[in-house]
Structure 1
Amino acid sequence: MALDIEATAKYPLASDDWIKTIGIGGVLTLFAVLFVPLLLVYGYLVRVLRAGMRDSPEPPVFDEWGSLLREGVMAFVVIFVYQLIPLIVFAVTVGGSIAAMATGSRAGAGLGLAGLFGGMMISGLLALVFGYFGLVGLANFAHEGTLGSAFDVAVIKDVALSREYAIPWLYGVGFVFVAGVVTSVLNVVPVLGAIVGVFVVFYAQICAFKLWGMGFSAATGVGDTPETGATVAV
Structure 2
Amino acid sequence: MIEDALRYQTQGDDWLKRVAIGGGVLFLGFLLVPLFTFQGYMLEVMRRVMRGETETPPAWGDLDLVETTVDGVRHTVVVLGYGLALLVVLAVPGVVMFVGIAGESGALAVLGVLVGGLVYLAGVLAMAAVLPVATGNFVKEDSIAAGFDLDVLRAVVTNRTMLMAVLMAFAVNIIVSAVSSVLGFTIVGYLLVPFVAFVGQSGIMYIWAEGFADAYEEEYGEPPLAPEAGFGAGTDATTGVRDESTDRVAGETDDDSATGWDDDSTSAWDDDSTGDWDDTGDDRY
TM-score (ref. length: structure 1): 0.80
Within a 5 Å distance, the mapping from 1:110-121 to structure 2 comes to 119=116
Name the % identity. 27
Give the Cα separation in 1 of the matches to 2:183 and 2:114.
Answer: 29
The aligned counterpart of 2:232 is: none
Bigger drift between 53-62 and 74-83 goes to: 53-62
Q: CA deviation at 1:32?
A: 2.0
| Residue 70, structure 1, aligned to residue 70, structure 2 | yes
- Report whether the alignment pairs 1:172 with 2:169: yes
The answer to whether the 8 Å contact 2:42/2:205 transfers is yes
Contact 1:50 1:225 in 2 (8 A): no
**Which of 204, 208, 214 lines up with 2:210 in the alignment?**
214
Structure 1, gaps ≥5 residues long: 228-234
> Residues 54-112 of structure 1: CA distance to partner in whole angstroms, max 9, x if unpaired?
231121122210110111111101111111122345577679868987x8x8x76x986
Aligned to 2:268: none
- Structure with more contact order per residue of length (Cα contacts < 8 Å, sep ≥ 6): 1
Which residue of 2 is the match for residue 79 of structure 1?
79
Measured on the aligned residues, the alpha-carbon RMSD in Å equals 2.8
Q: Secondary structure at the match of 1:201?
A: helix
Alignment of 1:61-210 (within 5 A): 61-62=59-60, 63-89=63-89, 119=116, 122-189=119-186, 191-210=187-206
Where does 1:37-48 land on structure 2 (aligned, <5 Å)? 37-48=34-45
Question: Partners in 2 of 1:117 and 1:30 — Cα distance?
Answer: 38
Number of positions where the alignment pairs a residue of Structure 1 with one of Structure 2: 220
Unaligned runs of 5+ in 2: 218-222, 230-285
Check the 8 A contact 1:8/1:211 in 2, yes or no.
yes
TM-score by length of 2: 0.67
1:143-201 Cα distance to aligned partner (Å, 9 max, x none): 11112111111112111111121212211111111101111122222x43333222212
Contact 1:186 1:197 in 2 (8 A): yes
Distance verdict in 2 for CA 1:115–1:51, change over 3 Å:
same
How far, CA to CA, are the matches of 1:89 and 1:198 in structure 2? 33
- Letter of the aligned partner of 1:204 in structure 2? G
